[in-house]
Amino acid sequence: VQPLPLGATIGILGDGQLGRMLSQAAARLGFKVAIFGPDEDSPAAQVSAHCIVADYNDEAALKRFAELCDVISFEFENVPAACLETLIGFGARVAPGPQALKVTQDRILEKGFARAHGIGTVDYAEVSSYDDLEKAIRIIGLPALLKTRREGYDGKGQVWIRHADEARAAFDALGGKPSILEARADFVREVSVIAARGHDGAWVTYPVGENHHVQGILSTTLAPAPGAEVLMPQINQIASTVLEGLEYVGVLGIEFFVLKEGLLLLNEIAPRVHNTGHWTQDGCLCDQFEQHIRCVAGWPLGDTQAFATVEMTNLLGADILAAHRLAAEPHSRLHVYGKSIGPEGPRAGRKLGHINRLRSGYAL
C-alpha cells in the first residue's frame, strides 16, 4: 500500500466525538476529512472539510462517499458490516476491513475468536431462548451477566442475574434478543490496552490504562497504570494475536479483567479508537487518533511512549456544566465534544467531554 499523499481525503463513517477527534488528528497530518453520518451539525462534521448526511444504508450516498474518499474508516463498531461491503463494491479502500467488524460485533463470535486463539475469557454460553438461559444458568452459575449478542454499549443491553428467579425478568428486559450469558469474573482490576497495526503488519501498543466504570459507563482511566508493567508481556502477546488474527489495520482497544493471580481475561475488543485511550492525547506525542489515521493512511506508526501519567475523567451529563471551572485547573486539558445541549439541559450519562489531568511527568 502506498502512503496516502498530503491533501488526500479520509472518510469516516460515524459523526460522534470519536469521529471528531479522528478528524482533528487527520487534519494535523495534512489530510482532508469527509464525515458520513445521520446528523446535521454533528460533533465530527463541525471540524471536517466535508460531510454527507445520510443513513448507513443509503446506497446513493455511500456511492458519493466512496468517490470522494481515498480511504474510509469508521468511528464505531455498530456500523452495518454490509455498509463496508457496499463501499468496497463501489471501489473504496476500507480499513479496518469488514472481517474485524463481523467478529467484534457479535459477543459470541468475539469470545469464540479469543478462545480459538488461546486467549482467556470468562465462561459464557449462547442464549437464543428462555430455555437456553435456564440451561446456561445451570452451567455458568450465578451471579452472571446477560448481554445482547450485538450492539449494546456503556452498560446498555445488559442485565445482571443474581438469583434464579430474576432470569425471566432479565430475558424479557433484553426483549428476548439473541444473547450471551457471561460468568462474573473475580477480578482485582480492569485494564485496557490501545493497540495499532499498519498495512505492513507492524504493530504497537500503548502503556496499559486502569479503568473505573460507574453504572457500566467508563468514569476514569489512569495510564500508564501503576504496577502494570508486569502485565505488558501478556498484553503484547494477546494484542498481537488479536491484531494478526483479524488482519487488522488501525487502532483497537482491548479491555481485560486482571485476576488476583495476575492472569488476564479478555473482556471486549473495540475495533476502533476507544474511550480508554483518550489519555494518550495528553500523555503521548502520537495519540490514538493520529495513530489510527497513520495506520489507515499507510504512514509509519507513531511513538507510543508516555511522557506523563494521565488521569482521564469522562464528563457525563451535567458534569459538562463545570467546563469553565475545569478549564482553570493547572496541569490539565479539557476536551469538549460540541454536542448540542437542549433547553432541558444535558442528558444524564451522555458523554459530552473529558478532562486529562497530568499526574506526573517523566524525563524523555
The binding site for its own copies (CB under 8 A) comprises 3, 6-7, 20, 23-24, 27-32, 41, 45-49, 282, 285-286, 294, 299-300, 302-303, 305, 307-308, 320, 323-324, 327-328, 330-338, 340-341, 353, 358-364
Instruction: Give the residue with the Cβ less far from its own copies, 96 or 283.
Output: 283
Instruction: Give the residue with the Cβ less far from its own copies, 174 or 249.
Output: 249
Instruction: Give the residue with the Cβ less far from its own copies, 67 or 186.
Output: 67
Backbone angles phi, psi at 244, to 5 degrees: -75, -40
CB of 305 to its own copies, least distance (A): 7
CB of 85 to its own copies, least distance (A): 30
Using CA atoms, how far residue 285 sits from 66, 189, 190, 244, 252, in Å, is 31, 27, 25, 25, 18
Three-state SS letters, 261-283: CCCEEEEEEECCCCHHHCCHHHH
Instruction: Give the residue with the Cβ less far from its own copies, 83 or 295.
Output: 295
CB of 6 to its own copies, least distance (A): 6
Compute how many other C-beta atoms are within 10 angstroms of the C-beta atom of residue 323.
Answer: 14
CB of 337 to its own copies, least distance (A): 7
Separation CA 86–CA 59 (nearest Å) = 8
CB of 71 to its own copies, least distance (A): 15
Q: Are 286 and 304 in contact (CB under 8 A)?
A: yes
Separation CA 214–CA 322 (nearest Å) = 19
Element (H, E) at 121: none
CB of 168 to its own copies, least distance (A): 44
CB of 344 to its own copies, least distance (A): 15
Instruction: Give the residue with the Cβ less far from its own copies, 335 or 350.
Output: 335
**SS3 of 345, please?**
coil
Residue with cell 459477543: 107
Q: Are 261 and 234 in contact (CB under 8 A)?
A: no
Separation CA 171–CA 141 (nearest Å) = 16
Instruction: Give the residue with the Cβ less far from its own copies, 242 or 293.
Output: 293
Instruction: Give the residue with the Cβ less far from its own copies, 209 or 302.
Output: 302
C-alpha cell at 143: 451471579
C-alpha cell at 167: 432470569
Q: How many residues does the structure list for the chain?
A: 364
Beta bridge partners of 193: 254
Separation CA 122–CA 131 (nearest Å) = 21
Element (H, E) at 98: helix 98-104
Instruction: Give the residue with the Cβ less far from its own copies, 43 or 97.
Output: 43
Separation CA 226–CA 12 (nearest Å) = 34
CB of 321 to its own copies, least distance (A): 9
**SS3 of 294, please?**
helix
Three-state SS letters, 42-82: CCCHHHCCEEEECCCCCHHHHHHHHHHCCEEEECCCCCCHH
Instruction: Give the residue with the Cβ less far from its own copies, 183 or 320.
Output: 320
Instruction: Give the residue with the Cβ less far from its own copies, 177 or 333.
Output: 333
